[in-house]
Amino acid sequence: MTRSSNARGNIVAFLAILAVSALTMVWLFWHHPIKTLIATIAVLAALGVSARLAGSIESDAGSELEHGNQSI
């Protein structure tokens, strides 16, 4: 019983945070469209760059594991 109420509480908290985030973005875009657009593009570009870097780092680590010393 406590697991389902805890999971329900987590879902409600997630949806509340999502709603507040969306409303904040809409409010910012309504009152400051150019600044919000520039900030959004900057954040998305940073996420894209970090995803590419993470992919390249992860593929390098995977190749090291395959070709490394397996004497453990």
The pLDDT tens digits of the residues spanning 50-61 come to 999 998 888 766
Q: Is the pLDDT of residue 62 over 90?
A: no
pTM above 0.85, yes or no: no
Q: What phi and psi values does residue 23 have, to the nearest 5 degrees?
A: -65, -35
Q: Is the pLDDT of residue 63 over 60?
A: yes
Per-residue pLDDT at 23: 97
Q: 3-state class of 69 per DSSP?
A: coil
Return d(Cα 72, Cα 63) in angstroms, integer: 17
User: Hey, CA dihedral for 36, 39, 45, 50, is it positive or negative?
Assistant: negative
Write down the domain spans for the chain.
1-28, 32-72
Please write the tens of the pLDDT for every residue from 7-41. Answer: 999 999 999 999 999 999 999 999 999 999 999 99
Return d(Cα 39, Cα 44) in angstroms, integer: 9
